Structure 1
């Protein structure tokens, strides 16, 4: 995975942290980073701390469980940083990085990204933390 020169979006799930990922990407030479956190002010504060010439960092409050929020992240990142190269999910129990270069060119990029985001969320949130009100199969 090439990080130098890449535009990276880091979406933080409740209980996760984008701090370590953002610092690693900035140190590795990312061209721009967007951090999206569910809690207001968290991503914005991190962005203010890490923002520098050559690697602008944008922080937004967003819930990536909502397809409309993912679409807004893609649009905002493209507007401020350029096309996204890496989309990352940071959850309470792990991280998942998706390279957008792996998306098939003939599919709707947003639809494919939404599917990958859903898969990434399921990888970083352990089964016991998913909705417990769903009945178990016998």
Structure 2
């Protein structure tokens, strides 16, 4: 489902989005269980494709995964900081967003070659988000 939904999408460097972003995040999350890996694989599907959270439910995706995907899906007119706050509030969502954040940070050196200003701006954003997400993970009950 994820591969079909993201078919033809590429990342900022022109690489296949499914292989360059979604699969690595799912692999990072696999030690936390199948739900975590599944949420990692699906984390951008609502934001970046025509699929909705209801579509995930209808496809049989578990409730915890659907909640996590919802928590990391940016809403219209929502700031990135607000998105991070919502992700922090969901146990699985904060792990998914932390893995997404880590993966995004590791790719900024490649982006800096073609767009240094965007890479610098995103580095500040992602480092700030990582602090909040890490604190949420460390202080979770």
Same fold (TM over 0.5): no
Answer 1 or 2: which has greater helix percent.
2
Q: TM-score, normalised by structure 2?
A: 0.35
Answer 1 or 2: which has greater strand percent.
1
Higher relative contact order (CA 8 A, sep 6+): 1
